[in-house]
A and B are shown apart, each in its own frame.
Chain A
Amino acid sequence: MPVIKMPSPFRSYTQDLLEVPVQGRTVAEAMNSLVVQYPTLLPHLYNSQGSLRPFVNLFLGEENIQSLQGVDTPLGEGDVLRLVPSVAGG
């Protein structure tokens, strides 16, 4: 089962889980599985048109999914998808 690694700003919505196991064979399915499990995350990750917000990046390994096949990028068992939002603290 793939997992999505959660950054600090979003962990409060996933019961402080560092990694959330998700179901799905693509990035889109995995992200859908994430927001189905934790619906309060939805407005933080997606805009009202259903697009991933531009301040959130998804990386599979070292690669941004935009450099792969976007949300259609296939996921295998054990893959780790990483959510990287912009943070401004300093």
Chain B
Amino acid sequence: MPDLTPDEILRYSRHLLIPEVGLEGQRRLKAASVLVIGAGGLGSPASLYLAAAGVGRIGLVDFDVVDASNLQRQIVHGTSTLGDRKVASARKRLLDLNPAIEVEAYDEAFTSLNAMRIAYGYQVIVDASDNFPTRYLSNDLCVLTGKPNVFGAIFRFDGQASVFDASRGPCYRCLFPEPPPPGLVPTCAEGGVFGVLPGVIGAIQATETLKLLLGIGETLIGRLLLYNALDMTFETVKLKKNPHCKACGISPEITALIDYAEFCGVPSVEHPYEQEHTGQEIDPLELAERLRSSSPPKVIDVREPHELEISRIEGAVNIPLGQLAARLSELDSAQESVVLCRSGSRSARALDLLASAGFRRVKNLRGGINAWAREVDPSLRLY
């Protein structure tokens, strides 16, 4: 293991004082490598604390750029890096926090085509992703390569954390054999997230990662931590290995990485959802023209009622996506309709739901009400 320099001994002095870490543990961290999948809400605190703790080599994977709406929770980024690639922004911040470490930036989507290459050489994988395909990919990769998968997931005020290590306990698929059908569980982009929530869960992921690297304490292997920020409760439930698990069971079916977008029934990064609905979309300017005509379409806003306080199109009927299936009787399947949400994702699902219920004359407002605000009504606020 590498020795610590005098500067490092000073930097890590509070660690060196703890018998469970000490000089040997700190050298162990310096020799360690961790891959963090996602430089967003969870990846921000997780990577910051891993860098501060002196993990010698940290890999960051993300294909996105820093957006103003990220900064409410993605604290590794800043106003000065708006528009920058997320991995470049995060790398800059981590190296500012600790120049003694190495940070490898992978500015690409994490897919079954590159996952083995990127993860090669890292000891621990931190799943700080924000979508089901990447979570199943991260799990299967870890099962196949024998690496621990430090899991964290969030929604609104709820957080989940665990350590999945198939050699010592259950994997993610033992708990969740299949993802929810698309649209059944809202994403943070659709349902929102309390900004500090990923701070708590991401810090727990960093904690568990450091314990794994140091070989100390009781990790969350075989346990799922459930945190609720509103109730301020931390509870754990027991997880057991599923002998029939397709990834880590007695007769595993998954012996190589698969197409996770297809498995989860969602569009891939290369083929986003909206592109699948070409021909079923209407541009904001075209909708504005149609609304001025003698036979305007019915506009159905599938956002949550409180979002209408931010922006709304006059005359639109509000039926939140979650209530749409139960309220179809309020709509006329023969009438020409346009569905809208904030950015076009939820309304694309609404369009699918309406189409499967026999509505043939429905279109999705491309880009949602934010596009409407940019192209038709600049008095509306973007969010």
Residues of A within 8 A of B (CB): 7-9, 12-13, 18, 39-40, 43-44, 53-55, 57, 59, 62-64, 67, 82, 84-90
Contact = CB atoms under 8 A, between A and B. Distances in A.
Interface of B: 38, 40-43, 127-132, 135, 152-158, 160, 175-181, 184-188, 191, 193, 198, 224, 226, 228, 230-231, 236-240, 304, 320, 322-323, 325-326
Nearest to A57: B175
23 contacts: A7-B158, A8-B158, A9-B155, A9-B185, A12-B304, A12-B322, A18-B231, A44-B184, A53-B178, A53-B184, A57-B176, A64-B238, A64-B240, A82-B237, A84-B160, A84-B224, A85-B180, A86-B132, A86-B153, A88-B131, A88-B179, A90-B153, A90-B188
Contacts of B156: 8-9
A60 to B, nearest CB: 9
A90 B322 contact: no
Contact of A90 (B128, B240, B304): B128
A73 to B, nearest CB: 14
A57 B224 CA distance: 12
Contact of B193 (A7, A18, A84, A89): A89
Contacts of B231: 18
Contacts of A62: 236-238
Q: Main SS of the interface on chain A?
A: mixed
The 9 closest A-B pairs by CB, nearest first: A89-B188, A90-B130, A87-B155, A8-B156, A8-B158, A86-B176, A54-B178, A55-B180, A90-B42
Contacts of B198: 90
Contact of A9 (B135, B191, B325): B191
Nearest to B157: A8
Contact of A89 (B154, B226, B236): B154
Given A18-B231, A55-B180, A59-B237, A88 B185 contact: yes
B234 to A, nearest CB: 13
A67 B188 CA distance: 31
Contacts of B191: 8-9
Contacts of B236: 62
Contacts of B228: 8
Contacts of A9: 155-156, 158, 185-186, 191
Nearest to B130: A90
B115 to A, nearest CB: 17
Contact of B153 (A39, A44, A67, A87): A87
Contacts of B230: 18
A88 B184 CA distance: 12
B41 A90 contact: yes
A90 B43 contact: yes
A44 B158 CA distance: 18
Contacts of A63: 237-238
A40 B239 contact: no
B268 to A, nearest CB: 15
A9 B304 CA distance: 13
Given A89-B155, A90-B129, A54 B240 contact: no
A24 B184 CA distance: 27
A43 B325 contact: yes
A64 B170 CA distance: 13
Contacts of A87: 153-155, 158, 160, 185
Contacts of A55: 176, 178-180, 184-185
Nearest to B264: A88
A56 B155 CA distance: 15
Contacts of B135: 86, 88
A54 B237 contact: no
Contacts of A88: 129-132, 135, 153, 179, 185, 187
Nearest to B226: A84
B185 A90 contact: no
